[in-house]
Amino acid sequence: RQAPKVSGIAFSVRTLLLLAASVIAFALMYAQGIPDAATAATIFLAILFFSLDSYSMLFFNVFQAYERMYFEPAIMLISSVFQVGAIWGVVQLDLGFNAVFVVMVLSGMIRVISGCSIMIRSFVVPVLDFNASEFWCFVKESSIVGFGVFLYLNLFRVSTIILHWIHGNEETAYYQ
């Protein structure tokens, strides 16, 4: 009964977080000096890919909530087969580094379009009809999990970051 509203709030929170992360990424990129066009394009494509990946995870979470997880492997299989074939083509045609990111974005688009269409057709249509208190209640309750994931991922990689600061790129590459 609350699924449309909750999924709408989750979609809104995810969009706001992705926008904030994108602004921060571009601000940091330009604070270090304006990069060449190829680097800026690569960063833009990476941000776009991770944004699409984030939305596809949201749709997959809806499948899990309705205990219909069989959609996710099918979508991932189709997306992965496309991605492997397209990257093979990019390598064979020597299209360059950014073409790999374009393939990743297209693969992400396959997951998002498939996941969103299945979610809307079979389970729930997100509703963006909520008030500020419902929004902040959702943020408060979900931030604990999000903060835990953030700490886990960063604490998992802290040894690599410290090694990079102490010894540089070559030692970090050997460590990884």
For 118-154, give the DSSP string: HIIIII--------HHHHHHHHHHHHHHHHHHHHHHH
What percent of the chain clears pLDDT 90, i.e. is strictly above it? 29
The per-residue pLDDT for range 104-132, each reduced to its tens digit, is: 999 999 999 999 999 999 888 888 777 78
100: left (phi over 0), alpha (psi -120 to 50) or beta: alpha
Residues 18 and 54: beta-carbon distance below 8 Å: yes
State the Cα torsion 47-49-55-58 to the nearest 10°: -110
Model's pTM, two decimal places?
A: 0.73
- Give every CB contact of residue 86 below 8 A, 6+ residues apart in sequence: 103, 106, 107
Residues 56 and 112: beta-carbon distance below 8 Å: yes
- Sign of the CA dihedral with 92 first, then 98, 104, and 107 last: negative
The tens place of each residue's pLDDT in the chain, 176 residues long, gives: 688 888 888 888 888 888 988 898 888 888 888 778 888 888 889 889 988 998 898 899 888 888 888 899 999 999 999 999 999 999 999 998 889 999 999 999 999 999 999 999 988 888 877 778 877 887 787 777 777 777 776 676 677 777 777 777 777 666 66
Helices 71-93 and 37-65: crossing angle in degrees, nearest 10, is 160
CA 87 to chain centre: 19
The per-residue pLDDT for range 60-77, each reduced to its tens digit, is: 988 888 888 889 999 999
State the Cα torsion 102-53-81-96 to the nearest 10°: 20
